[in-house]
A and B are shown apart, each in its own frame.
Chain A
Amino acid sequence: MEKGSFEVKVGLAEMLKGGVIMDVTTAEQAKIAEDAGAVSVMALERIPADIRADGGIARMSSPQVINEIQENVSIPVMAKCRIGHFAEAQILESLGVDFVDESEVLTPADEHNHIDKHAFKVPFVCGCRDLGEALRRIGEGAAMIRTKGEAGSGNIVEAVRHMRQVQKDIRSLTVLSEDELMARSKELGAPYSLVKQVAKLGKLPVPNFAAGGIATPADSSLMMQLGAETVFVGSGIFKSEDPPARAKAIVSAITHFDDPAKLAEVSYGLQTAMKGLDMAEIPEDQRMQERGW
């Protein structure tokens, strides 16, 4: 019997497709998320919009909070650790979390190295802005990729930019001839074996989800139509005026992402979405997407 293999890690990511992964900071929020139909919850200390507003160092959630969340919901529980902070990841693995997000939303612990994710039994998800970054993370052992967007902004523009970039990079690989792939691999800064695989498959070898700025059912549909296999929603739910109703509407929007009439129906009667930030209001050195490489 084999446990913790790459196949089993990607297997869980496959099961999460078409579901919504919601950021939660307490067991109570986790319960609201599960009741609304979330497919998984992501435990973190503070939601991205608050991390942005409060400043300071953002770290892994406390083990106590993670345990409380695990005891209160039956869906998979994910948790974030800092980029390069393998000790936080080891602790999360020992707590039995189902997925670790090595996340740019928390303050990075290592500016040069990401975690060697092959060394763990627990699967990892990592953010990316383009294909090179996605393949570097998969090379390190990530079993799921999410485009970064700009967390806590309530603004979909960066999520769209990153998803379009990844899809464009993939499409352009598929038309290259075999003898052009090594040069492209060098440009992308990505492992040659993975570049060859993507050129052949026409898609990433692991599920590709979207994150960072999703606030409405329409945002969710947009990301799905651009090629996301599902979405992470962070601040968009618990920073809105009606978290349970909005959470439920986003769950339905993912199922019916290509049915505008249904999307109109699920959006009907929702209260105000989170206020959000224009990118011009976020100085470049405060953009979370710049963390990691």
Chain B
Amino acid sequence: MKRVGVLGLQGAYAKHAAVLQRLDIQSIDVRSRNDLDKCEGLIIPGGESTTMTKLIEENDLYDAIIQFAEENPIFGTCAGMILMATHVEDDRVKTLNLIDITVDRNAYGRQVDSFVNELDVRTDGESFTMRCVFIRAPRIAELGDGVEVLASIDDEPVLVRQGHHLAAAFHPELTSETRIHSYFLTLKREMSIA
């Protein structure tokens, strides 16, 4: 069986791999095009989007991820969400244009403003409440047509899906939570059936 990749250039990639392991899914750290070929889904973890931009380019992964995304689902958390956006007001970051959102970096403030909140999440057939950890989190400022909102704080979306791609402003990998990752894996299955 092919494996789910976790972009292993910088950031909390080991935490995502640990969640996948709890779900009995094999994961692989992706650091090259070659690694990507072995996967049928990719998680882009939290970390610093400026650092990851440089490392994506340096390791020749920018076009490779965009091409991979046509056939395979991608899930980005925090910095990963920033990288998946169509637009970010910061030329230090080069986005992959995978989900039609405009994102502001560090929009909730500095680290002393980082927070944990209980949120209601609605996926296809299911709805549940979970603890969500936001670390120097990005904010979704604009939402394109065809982007589905799965969770919000007040009226601001923090978990969105477009087609087979998923993005979260928070970090499900930092809690004991596995439901968001499980949901991401169903996007994978829908794809392979189609």
B-binding residues in A (CB < 8 A): 1-5, 7-9, 11-12, 14-19, 34, 36-40, 74-76, 93, 96-99, 121-123, 251-252, 254-256
Given known contacts A12-B136, A93-B112, is B117 in contact with A19 (CB within 8 Å)? no
Interface string of B56-83 (1 = CB under 8 A from A): 0011000000000000000000110000
> Across the interface, do A15 and B133 meet the contact criterion of CB distance under 8 Å?
no
> Across the interface, do A8 and B133 meet the contact criterion of CB distance under 8 Å?
yes
The answer to whether B127 has its CB under 8 Å from any CB of chain A is no
Q: A17-B13, A96-B110 are known contacts; what are 7 more A-B pairs with Cβ within 8 Å? A: A1-B115, A3-B115, A11-B133, A11-B135, A15-B12, A98-B111, A255-B59
For the complex, give the distance between the alpha carbons of A74 and B54 in Å: 14
**Cβ contacts under 8 Å, B13 to chain A:** 17-18
| Chain B stretch 44-59: residues in CB contact (< 8 A) with chain A | 46-48, 50-51, 54-55, 58-59
> Across the interface, do B11 and A11 meet the contact criterion of CB distance under 8 Å?
no
Give the shortest distance, in Å, between A234 (CB) and chain B (any CB).
19
Which listed residue (A11, A34, A98, A251) contacts B92, Cβ 8 A? Answer: A34
> Across the interface, do A7 and B174 meet the contact criterion of CB distance under 8 Å?
yes
Give the shortest distance, in Å, between A254 (CB) and chain B (any CB).
8
**Cβ contacts under 8 Å, B135 to chain A:** 8, 11-12, 15
**Cβ contacts under 8 Å, B3 to chain A:** none
Which listed residue (A5, A18, A38, A252) contacts B58, Cβ 8 A? Answer: A252
Given known contacts A11-B174, A15-B135, A40-B48, is B112 in contact with A122 (CB within 8 Å)? yes
For the complex, give the distance between the alpha carbons of A37 and B12 in Å: 16
Number of B residues with CB within 8 Å of any CB on chain A: 38
Which listed residue (A15, A121, A123) contacts B48, Cβ 8 A? Answer: A15
**Cβ contacts under 8 Å, A40 to chain B:** 48
Q: Count A/B pairs, Cβ under 8 Å.
A: 117
The answer to whether B188 has its CB under 8 Å from any CB of chain A is no
| Chain B stretch 90-134: residues in CB contact (< 8 A) with chain A | 90, 92, 105-106, 109-117, 133
For the complex, give the distance between the alpha carbons of A238 and B95 in Å: 30
The answer to whether B8 has its CB under 8 Å from any CB of chain A is yes
Interface string of B1-43 (1 = CB under 8 A from A): 0000000111111110000000000000001000000000000
**Cβ contacts under 8 Å, A96 to chain B:** 109-112
> Across the interface, do B116 and A74 meet the contact criterion of CB distance under 8 Å?
no
The answer to whether B165 has its CB under 8 Å from any CB of chain A is no
The answer to whether B171 has its CB under 8 Å from any CB of chain A is yes
**Cβ contacts under 8 Å, A123 to chain B:** 111
Which listed residue (A5, A14, A16, A254) contacts B15, Cβ 8 A? Answer: A14
For the complex, give the distance between the alpha carbons of A75 and B136 in Å: 10
> Across the interface, do B105 and A74 meet the contact criterion of CB distance under 8 Å?
yes
> Across the interface, do A76 and B116 meet the contact criterion of CB distance under 8 Å?
no
> Across the interface, do A18 and B8 meet the contact criterion of CB distance under 8 Å?
yes
